[in-house]
Amino acid sequence: MSDVYGAMGSALYSALAAGTALVSALGGTAIYDSVIPQVGGTRFVVFQPQAGGEDNTSPRRARTCWYFVKAVSSVGAQNAGVIDGLVDTLLHEATLTVTGWGNYRTTRESDVAYVDDTAGQLWWHRGALYRVRIAEP
């Protein structure tokens, strides 16, 4: 079996980085797989695998992958919400290019919204769990 996480990470990054409105709202390609590095900035998108596995519903190999994709902003809740909306436009019902697999469904499933305080700086998080269904080509 190929590296599903690597292929999915590349697919999600490519889909998000291709969104010119998203990249503009972020002030560049501030899109990260799993961890936001210690870099300057006020707005980011981060995605992380959350769960998944084999569907085992037919002889054809298929998987369901759950990814948490969120906007993180120190500019405010509204800004994080706008960025989340741009992410939703790019991912909900999109067909991703997943190396070694065919993507037959991508859907936004559960919303997430919270704020955290890091050393006196408020960071707003807005996003969702996305279900990505892939199968052998």
Mode of pairing for the β-strands spanning 121-135 and 102-118: antiparallel
Tally of domains in the chain = 1
Average pLDDT over residues 103-130: 97
Residue 89: strand, helix, or coil: helix
Helix runs in the chain, H state only: 4-17, 20-26, 77-91
The strand pair at 43-54 and 31-33 is best described as: parallel
Burial 2-20 (b: 16+ CB within 10 A, else e): eebeebbbbbbbebbeebe
Domain that holds residue 31: 4-135
Q: Supply the CATH number for residue 21's domain.
A: 3.30.2000.30
pLDDT reading at 1 higher than 80: no
Residues 39, 69 contacting (CB under 8 angstroms): no
Residue with the bigger pLDDT between 107 and 58: it is 107
The mean-pLDDT minimum among 4-13, 54-63, 83-92 falls in 54-63
